[in-house]
Amino acid sequence: MHKSRLGNIVIDCPGGDLWSAARFWSSALGYPLPAATDATGRFIQLVTPPGDVQVIIQQVDHAARAHLDIETDAIAPEVERLEALGATIVSRQATWVVMQAPSGQRFCVGSPYRDGFDRHANVWT
């Protein structure tokens, strides 16, 4: 038995002006920019209400797209469950796995990152 749920919506932005992209998405979605962040970092997490899905603006070296992050308390069983549904593994990273849905969208599977996981995650057997 393990648990999983939607954790993040990640907006992948090519190019060098991550703050400009973050300002746009902050205004478009109504989520404030963080008070402080690493100016040299590759992502900016907007301020969402506690327990809500997180929205992350990420600087990337590929085409612009958005992807979902699924958070789980057991990465290997969740990857196996998703493979049984038709997803494929694209790459394995140190702390997450990049997968692709049968319909072509990429998404990541990683450990829980936000509050309320145990109360709100789906339970899989």
pLDDT of residue 17: 87
In the chain, where are the structural domains located? Answer: 2-113
Q: What's the pLDDT score for residue 41? A: 87
**What class is the 2-113 domain?**
alpha beta
DSSP 6-70: EEEEEEEEESS-HHHHHHHHHHHHT-PPPS---TT-SEEE----TTSPEEEEEEESS--EEEEEE
Strand partners, 85: none
Are the C-beta atoms of residues 63 and 84 closer than 8 Å to each other? no
Question: How do the pLDDT tens digits run along the chain, 125 residues long?
Answer: 999 999 999 999 998 789 999 999 999 999 999 998 776 789 999 999 988 899 999 999 999 999 999 999 999 999 999 999 999 999 999 999 999 999 899 999 999 988 899 999 999 98
